[in-house]
Chains A and B, each alone.
Chain A
Amino acid sequence: MAKKKKKIFLLLAGGTCLTDKEGRIFSVQSAQDIGHWLKQMPELEILSNLQPLFISGEDELVTAAVWEKMVQAITDNFMEADGFVIVSKIDNLLYTGAALSFLLQNFQKTVILTSSQISGTSFVDKKAVIEELRNKQGGLGLRANIINALQIADRPLPSPAIMFGQRLISAIKALPDQQNQLNLLASADGNYWGKVDFGVNLKSGLYFSPHQPDIYKKIKADIFILEDWPGTPWMLTKDNLVKYHGLFIKASPYQPLEKTKQGQIAKWKLPTVIYNRQSVRPIKGAVAISGCTPYVALTKTMWALANAGELADFTSIMQRNLIGEFNN
């Protein structure tokens, strides 16, 4: 009797651009495009029993609502699935991966994110890049990325991961790699869960978390993001922030915020996170965090604010190393 194929759910939310031999570009704009798009990659059906699910189109923005939709689709199909592969836009794949890591804590099925090297169907401005990728790499990378993701989608991974080029990276550790044309992402701590060298080679000792799964279905997008430049005043009043539930400040390292800015934060009385990857000086009325990627810091804030009712107090949640997001 033939061995039963693993059932993998393929969630499509942008990042679906691929080219055929003639250079035609295919992407998924709506659920109707999926069949034709999948026909360009017949090998996917051989690798698994693939169940495609449409989440959002190639030209749609990947927002917090899309992340919530992904979590809903994943939890709805949890029992049936052997694993999940999410194709989403490269420009915010790092945010998507980090957000899903907080929404699907201790999840007992593997979730792998991947993407094409090109997002969006406004190809005119990307013509040169597409040509270069086709000439140098034979395509936009999506076919190889999905194949690699599918090959390990039923293997246990502790939390959502990103498969891109030759690297499998924990989604909470992923950062852009500007030096590499093939591997556009790198791990913040240099630790990779897998490498594509001679097949996909997974690191040993990767298991599902032994803790009970914590699934959250809400994440808040209404957070005001402010990049602070020392010496430049914030021309904001409380009225400007009335629609926001939180404030996320990207601060410069080592230098504390000016007194006037500290006073503004105290006056606004919004849950506030002050972040710098290297180091940040704590101030009264704000949670200071460092030692994690900016994508993790922001999405953790969004998640913590959305689920405030279920969680302990905001400050302690933000500072606690919940899923290994902080580098030791």
Chain B
Amino acid sequence: MAIQNFILLITGILNFSMSVFIISRGWKNKINLYFSLLTFFTFLWSLTLFISRIIPSDLLAVFFYRSTYMSAVGIAVFLLYFSLYFPYKIKDVSFLIKFSIWLPTIIIVILIYTQWHIIDFNRSIDLLEWNVSYYVPFHIVYGLYFFVAVISAFLHLVYKYRRSENIFKKQIKVFLSMIAISFVCGSYFNLILCYFGSWHYIWLGPLFTLLMNGSVFYLIFLSKDR
């Protein structure tokens, strides 16, 4: 197995372990619930990307590759929800807010699996060289949706950071800095480079989600009080 695929597999396993660990701390706690869902989708992202890179059938490979985009939608949505509750709730999530989050999400997820998203998908015999043709308008809408969700989440966390004191300030600082690196690198390797026709580094994006997990691991096990 190529080292890149092995890294993807390990990343997926670590993300899944984190998801299970966090939910085992109590799913009724919204922080645990949404972070667990967030890491579950980072796990799906790694897994679907891994499968799309190793599976011989192009038909199945394109399905799994489309699923990486679906996983990224899950990551953005649950990061947004998580940002509303971590480390404490700052907004009542009304029906209108839920509607404005979930309606575009459902539409985008459906469109991901249609010709509106990927028009053509080819790989070389050794499966390493990819050539994917996107329907550009949808790709732009997808990118906008993703960045709006992620930036909203960042704004929530920055707002809380500015208002917070002692333990909350430290927690948000640690989490925010790690998640910023994860999203900048993840988006660069798996969204922006792909848009410009380079798939060489798509195995790198999921790796950066481990920084996000690392920050939570630090808060739980290594923060000063322990």
The answer to whether A and B interact is yes
Size range of the chain B interface in the assembly: 20 to 34
Residues of A within 8 A of B139 (CB): none
- B225 close to A166 (CB less than 8 A): yes
- A197 close to B219 (CB less than 8 A): yes
Asked if B124 is an interface residue, CB under 8 A from chain A, the answer is no
Asked if B100 is an interface residue, CB under 8 A from chain A, the answer is no
Partner of B91, one of A2, A46, A148, A199: A46
- A46 close to B92 (CB less than 8 A): yes
Known: A46-B91, A166-B225. A199 touches B29 (CB 8 A): yes
- A138 close to B94 (CB less than 8 A): no
Choose, from A55-63, A139-147, A277-285, the stretch at the interface: A139-147
Chain B: minimal CB distance from A46 (Å): 6
The residue of chain B having its C-beta at the shortest distance from the C-beta of A140 within the complex is B165
Choose, from B81-89, B101-109, B143-151, the stretch at the interface: B81-89
Asked if A315 is an interface residue, CB under 8 A from chain B, the answer is no
Partner of A199, one of B31, B90, B92, B225: B31
- B92 close to A2 (CB less than 8 A): yes
Residues of B within 8 A of A198 (CB): 22, 25, 31-32, 35, 171, 216, 219-220
Residues of B within 8 A of A144 (CB): 164-168
> How many chain-A residues does the 8 Å CB contact rule pick out?
28
Residues of A within 8 A of B220 (CB): 197-198, 201
Chain B: minimal CB distance from A87 (Å): 15
- B167 close to A165 (CB less than 8 A): yes
Chain B: minimal CB distance from A145 (Å): 9
- B87 close to A199 (CB less than 8 A): yes
Asked if B156 is an interface residue, CB under 8 A from chain A, the answer is no
Binding site for A on B (CB under 8 A): 22, 25-26, 29, 31-32, 35, 86-92, 94-95, 163-169, 171, 216, 219-220, 223-225
Q: A167-B225, A197-B220, A201-B220 are in contact. List 11 more A-B contacts (CB 8 A).
A: A2-B95, A47-B89, A138-B164, A141-B166, A143-B165, A144-B164, A144-B165, A166-B223, A197-B219, A198-B35, A198-B220
Binding site for B on A (CB under 8 A): 2, 43, 46-47, 137-141, 143-144, 147-148, 151, 165-167, 180, 182-183, 195-202
Which 7 residue pairs across A and B have the least CB separation, nearest first?
A139-B165, A199-B31, A137-B166, A138-B165, A166-B225, A197-B220, A147-B88
